Structure 1
Amino acid sequence: MTWDQYAEAWAGLHGGFDPRRASALVRGWVRLAYRTGSWLGARRVTPFTVTLAGVLLCLAVPLAVPAGAGGLAFGAALVLLAAAADGLDGAVAVITGRVSRAGYVYDSVADRIGEAAWLAAFWLAGAPAWLTVSTGAASWLHEYVRARAAAAGMPDIGVVTVGERPTRVAVTVAGLIVASLAVVVAPGWVPAVLAVAVAAWLVLQLIGLGQLTVAVRAALR
């Protein structure tokens, strides 16, 4: 499968959003997924295997963070690897011709499980429980509104909000890395650093939910 063929197939699975016309960062990320997915597909790695690997990486994050500075930094690395797996399962599915509705559901469920694991890691490392639960609910609501809008007839993703999954990944990784540094420099600041990271995640979700609500109303009016 050529890059152009892959980009067209990818756009069809993402509400018509063409990666060839995206920013250099997004375009580069999708192209990297295409190349890596081609390599995995040639070795008969299935999309479900990649999805499962991503979930296991996410579930390992809460187990890693109690180990202090090293554990927090390792948790950040696990989140990055899980995010890579999240992009690669779809790439492998497209390239190997194994795209299915069931796979789409599995991928969405895996994303929600992974994000719950990341927030659990923040809680275990010292973030307030009420804040992590509120953030998880806001993230879930963001995805639920889009899914229901699509079921109601919205023809595309509506809008790319500030609270999309890449933002959640970035906030999680940044929060864990800064917290790992705080363990060494000022241990008493760790809970505050983690709380700020989770609060930033929550604020971005709420803003994104507002953006999505406006787009959904316009699309379904």
Structure 2
Amino acid sequence: MSTPDGPRVNQLDRVKQEYTQAAREILRRSMRGVAKTKLTPDMLTLVGVALCLAGAVLVGFETRNAYLFFWLGGVLFVIGSIADILDGALARAAGKGTVFGAFLDSTFDRVGEAAMLAAIGLSFMHDSNEIALMAAFAAVIGSFLVSYTRARAEALGLRGDVGFGSRVERVVLIAVGLFLAPWGWLQWPIYVLAVLAWLTVGQRILFVRRQLRELAETAS
């Protein structure tokens, strides 16, 4: 059974949709001034991925100074991720969005996140923490699948944005992990990230299946 707004979603997903829409509106309004400049969404995308990659490189040197390289790498990753979020807001505020820009943004989002998780995995390898290393691998694969399941659902004309393992939540977990890393607690947010990502993948698969069933029932 579907509602006027589309397929049913649970209360948690409805809450997420509401705060996501509110955040997007705030970002769109905040970018109105920037929209009048020559800055383009593609520029923000490139700056964002460059900062994320630089942060990942710094984390790779954490054995030399854990506080400096974990925290500095984390700061660059967060700033780069914010830039990746703002490029969409700028595109909406300035009407500068393009199909290629959206493609570029979604592609580079994966690059920055995967690079940081790879650097974190390298840190686990240095510590001979094989369980955490496998969790980092699982987090990378799960993160890619979270994005892929949404893209495939939308290509079919369906919704695929349910679950709490989207990019913002993943960035927060990685940032928390990098902050806690000098005290040896990096693995715990990565465990949560891996589990959350795969739960979200499962949610999205089931949600797409439900939408297809509802469409079939409506057509019959």
TM-score (norm 1): 0.77
Question: Is 2:130 aligned against 1:130?
Answer: no
What residue in structure 2 maps to residue 165 of structure 1? Answer: 167
After superposing on structure 2, the runs of 4+ consecutive aligned residues of structure 1 that deviate more than 4 Å are none
Question: What amino acid is aligned across from residue 35 of structure 2 in structure 1?
Answer: G
Question: Is 2:191 aligned against 1:199?
Answer: yes
Cα RMSD for the two superposed structures: 2.4
Question: Is 2:74 aligned against 1:70?
Answer: no
What residue in structure 2 maps to residue 209 of structure 1? Answer: 201
What residue in structure 1 maps to residue 149 of structure 2? Answer: 145
Asked if structure 1 preserves the Cα contact closer than 8 Å seen for 2:78 and 2:171, the reply is yes
1:174 Cα deviation (Å)? 0.5
In structure 1, stretches of 5+ residues that fail to align are 1-16, 183-189
The 2-side partners of 1:77 and 1:173 are apart by: 8
Provide Cα deviations, 1:21-64, integer angstroms capped at 9, x if missing partner.
823x862x434422442222222101110000000011011222
Question: Is 2:180 aligned against 1:178?
Answer: yes
Map 1:15-164 → 2, pairs under 5 A: 22-23=18-19, 27=22, 29-65=23-59, 66=62, 67-126=65-124, 128-154=132-158, 156=159, 158-164=160-166
Change (3 A) 1:218 1:18: closer
Provide Cα deviations, 1:41-88, integer angstroms capped at 9, x if missing partner.
222101110000000011011222224212111122122212211121
1:115 Cα deviation (Å)? 0.9
Asked if structure 1 preserves the Cα contact closer than 8 Å seen for 2:66 and 2:181, the reply is no
What residue in structure 1 maps to residue 4 of structure 2? Answer: none
Change (3 A) 1:37 1:139: same
1:107 Cα deviation (Å)? 0.8
Asked if structure 2 preserves the Cα contact closer than 8 Å seen for 1:33 and 1:91, the reply is yes
Give the number of equivalent residue pairs. Answer: 190
Question: What amino acid is aligned across from residue 80 of structure 1 in structure 2?
Answer: V
Question: What amino acid is aligned across from residue 217 of structure 1 in structure 2?
Answer: R
In structure 2, stretches of 5+ residues that fail to align are 1-12, 126-131, 214-220
Query: 3-state DSSP class of the match of 2:162?
Result: coil
1:202 Cα deviation (Å)? 0.6
